[in-house]
Structure 1
Amino acid sequence: MELRQLRYFMEVAEREHVSDAALHLHIAQSAISRQIANLEAELGVQLFERTGRNVKLTPIGKTFFYHTKVAMKAIDHAKKQVDEYIDPERGSIKIGFPTSLASNLLPNVLAVFKKKYPNISFHLRQGSYSFLIESVKSREIDVAFLGPVPIDDPDIIGDILFSEDLYALVPNDHPMANRKSIYLAELKQDPFVLFPKGYIFEKLAMDGCKQAGFEPHVTSEGEDLDAIKGLVAAGMGITLLPESAFSEVNTTFTSKIAISNPQLCRTVGIITPKHRNLAPSETVFYQFVLNHFRNLD
């Protein structure tokens, strides 16, 4: 079994088309077909079945594909470790981040880091809370910024960089729009605009309202920060968001108000895999981030 065979196999499995795989790999279709035939002969099983002009994985082919992906990620990571051993200040890092940290934390950290380590490059991937955690586990990304920081996942190391308060965002014509701070319970009669169930911001808001002794009346939902803010600006309701989710303190249509009781906050940090070592460039970045926020403190 050769690495070349496995890479050909993965390309065909992902594209479900031999010709498309050959075109992407810049090799002859016959070469791919021959190598996959050799692989099937060595394994003693059929990995693909034809469906018209396309091919699909057989049940055992799907099992082999899953384990091959895991193995190839490990091999690629090992090669990266060797390449960067010679010069840890060269390399590339796959960094994940949520929308709420995209406008402030991430650009500030990366700008300072690039001045010190100009030869390390980044591949950035935005994603949801659960996506970022699973992507670190599966090697799709190397490290991720996240909030709140998971503390009970057996496969993740979470380092808290700072904590931030949650604020109420209300339309400018709201009776409390000019208040500097409020008790959250004062908003219990208001309609709420939240993310759908399953989103981390929905959970933060629901938990906060429960601490204040009520369950919010959710009348509208949005799946991203701009949608949530837009619905609040349109007067559809109010919402709760962490400080880093605000690019401005107040806008023409909304006001941000501090919550004095209960005190609601979330942790923000960086997550790394627990069961594999970071590559040298990833370690340089990880240590830089920890030191950067220690110095800020």
Structure 2
Amino acid sequence: MTPTQLRAYSAVVRLGSVKLAAAHLEVSEAAVSLHIGQLRKELGDQLFTRTASGLAFTPGGLRLASRAAELLGLQDITVLEVSAAGRGRRLLRVGASSLFAEQAAPGLIELFAGRAADLDVELSVRNPAAFASLLQSRAIDIAIGPAPKVPDPAISGRPVMNYRIVLVAGPDHPLAGTQPSARQLREQMWLLGPSAAADGSAIRMLLRRLSVPDEHQQIFQSHAAALEEAKRGRGVAAALNFTVAAEIRAGRLVQFSGPHTTLDDVWHAFTLADPGAPASAAELARFATTPRALQAMMRGAGVHVGRFRPSVHVTLWS
């Protein structure tokens, strides 16, 4: 088996067709079919067959799918580690939910990275629903964000930080100073950051709990941008309580009260449960729960530009 063959097979498994896999890999369908044929011959297994409803994988094909992801992930991380080791440095790749990445991660990453002169920490925004697959494929070393609905036995998780989502608006908002009902909140324009679009996020859960219609939700490029719009009286915004405390004290924002206006949740740190996880990932998971780390996350210090890899959020309207 070669890495090229495994990448072709993994693309077929992930995308569900040879045609889509070829387009994703930017090769011809014939090339993908050739790689699949070579794997079938070497392994003595058909791997999958085409049916009217799509591809049907054999038990051996399913087993190869999981192993292929592991092997390719190990290859990628080995290339990175060898390159970093050649420069005398270690690399820790952190994947985080958008809310944590924007509001809490910079202070944590800067403090943690400063403890070891030979450690580079890279932060990227990831979908929490993909945490398990990203860790298992070695695309990231540690993930921080909301806990999944269904735990994965291959992933080890530990709580990092309790936080509260509060609902705020500008001081001139019609509902400022009141205790709004669920119906009144549903009727408002909600000004939201990228995490509102991620399943499992606290803000998403708050929106669903109140049954806020899609047409009353505006998602901005950042949570900070959404808050700026709220200050101008253009709607209500959901925010972390410690990030808006100063603005509330200064009178630039007003926090709503009542049973429908807050939601408590917990960020968790996730690493691979097996011994293959980098030691620095487990170290960060432990460090994130210390008082110094919690203070750094709430203080919100900036992170060095070389340690942040933002993902692009695209919203389409029709």
- Quickly name the TM-score band, shorter chain normalised: 0.5 to 0.7
Matches for 1:82-231 after TM superposition, within 5 Å: 90-136=89-135, 138-147=137-146, 149-150=147-148, 153-155=151-153, 156-177=155-176, 179=177, 184-185=179-180, 188-190=183-185, 191-192=187-188, 193=190, 195=196, 198=199, 200=201, 201-207=203-209, 215=210, 218=213, 219-224=215-220, 225-226=222-223, 228-229=226-227
Shift of 1:235: 4.8
Residue number in structure 1 paired with 2:5 = 9
| Number of equivalenced pairs | 262
Shift of 1:103: 3.3
Change (3 A) 1:293 1:134: farther
Residue number in structure 1 paired with 2:255 = 257
Change (3 A) 1:247 1:68: farther
Does the 8 Å contact 1:94/1:143 carry over to 2?
yes
Q: Distance in 2 between matches of 1:166 and 1:45?
A: 52
* Structure that is richer in strand per residue: 1
Change (3 A) 1:118 1:90: same
Q: Distance in 2 between matches of 1:274 and 1:289?
A: 18
| Residue ranges of structure 1 left out of the alignment (5+ in a row) | 22-29, 49-57, 208-214
Cα RMSD of the aligned pairs, angstroms, is: 4.9
AA partner of residue 6 (structure 2): M
**Partner SS state of residue 290, structure 1:** coil
Q: Distance in 2 between matches of 1:199 and 1:254?
A: 30
Residue number in structure 2 paired with 1:43 = 43
Shift of 1:9: 1.0
Shift of 1:173: 1.8
Q: TM-score, normalised by structure 2?
A: 0.59
Change (3 A) 1:239 1:33: closer
| Residue ranges of structure 2 left out of the alignment (5+ in a row) | 12-20, 49-54, 297-318
Fraction of identical pairs, as percent? 14
Q: TM-score, normalised by structure 1?
A: 0.63
**Partner SS state of residue 159, structure 2:** strand
Q: Which of 236-245 and 106-115 deviates more?
A: 236-245
Shift of 1:67: 3.4
Q: Distance in 2 between matches of 1:153 and 1:93?
A: 23
Larger Rg: 1
AA partner of residue 16 (structure 1): A
Does the 8 Å contact 1:233/1:253 carry over to 2?
no
Residue 239 in 1 paired to residue 237 in 2? yes
Deviations 1:226-252 (A, max 9, x none): 4754664565532333336659726x9
